[in-house]
């Protein structure tokens, strides 16, 4: 097994296990920490796929900034043992059944796709994820969505001020 493959499997296992731990952890703070592990594992995948810019953005914005926001929310909510919501058993059961159905559909889909069978991710090739190429695309073909996204940011700013500021 080549070293790339070892890293690939290691990162995949890390991502899946951490993602499961996010859901299973009793303490929300632990969930956030596991989520950070997921982000790092996925960033590793991005690097393997030669998508370096996304890898860095994923760490700076998601693992850095967004996770800080998550922690702030946890601290805002003042979670105690007493205020923990009661979880309905039936609710959990329906969740498992419906999630399982989706999983079965996805698995059967991949199994049906005979063309994909036996192929693994193409690693370390292609240059579309490199910052230089990505920047050129972003500021030429995708310049309109790029500009329009600033409207989104503005409404988010207004929203933060309207909801978050004391009257």
131 binds another protein (CB under 8 A): yes
Q: Which is nearer to another protein, 20 or 127 (CB)?
A: 127
**Smallest gap from residue 9 Cβ to another protein (A):** 14
Q: Residue 150, SS3? A: helix
95 binds another protein (CB under 8 A): no
Q: Which is nearer to another protein, 86 or 167 (CB)?
A: 167
Q: Which of residues 99-128 bind another protein (CB under 8 A)?
A: 105-106, 109, 112-113, 115-116, 123-124, 127
66 vs 70: CA distance, rounded Å: 6
48-51: long-range contacts at Cβ-Cβ below 8 A with a sequence spacing of 24 or more?
A: 48/4, 48/7, 48/8, 48/11, 48/121, 48/123, 48/124, 49/121, 49/122, 49/123, 49/124, 49/126, 49/129, 50/123, 50/124, 50/125, 50/126, 50/127, 50/129, 50/130, 51/128, 51/129
| x/- letters, 135..154, toward another protein (CB under 8 A) | xx-xxxxxxxxxxxxxxxxx
Q: Which of residues 31-90 bind another protein (CB under 8 A)?
A: 44, 47-50, 52-53, 57, 60-61, 64-66, 68-69, 72-73, 75-80
**Smallest gap from residue 12 Cβ to another protein (A):** 15
């Amino acid at each position: 097994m080549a070293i790339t493959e070892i890293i690939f499997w290691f990162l995949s296992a890390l991502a899946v296990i951490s993602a499961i731990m996010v859901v299973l952890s009793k303490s929300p703070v632990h969930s956030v920490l596991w989520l950070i592990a997921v982000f790092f594992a996925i960033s590793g995948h991005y690097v393997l796929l030669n998508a370096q810019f996304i890898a860095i953005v994923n760490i700076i914005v998601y693992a850095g900034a967004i996770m800080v926001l998550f922690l702030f929310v946890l601290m805002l909510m003042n979670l105690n043992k007493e205020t923990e919501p009661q979880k309905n058993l039936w609710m959990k059961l329906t969740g498992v059944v419906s999630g399982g159905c989706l999983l079965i559909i996805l698995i059967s889909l991949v199994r049906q796709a005979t063309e994909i069978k036996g192929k693994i991710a193409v690693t370390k090739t292609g240059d579309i994820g490199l910052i230089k190429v990505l920047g050129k695309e972003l500021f030429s073909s995708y310049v309109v969505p790029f500009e329009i996204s600033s409207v989104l940011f503005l409404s988010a700013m207004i929203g933060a001020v309207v909801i978050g500021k004391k009257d």
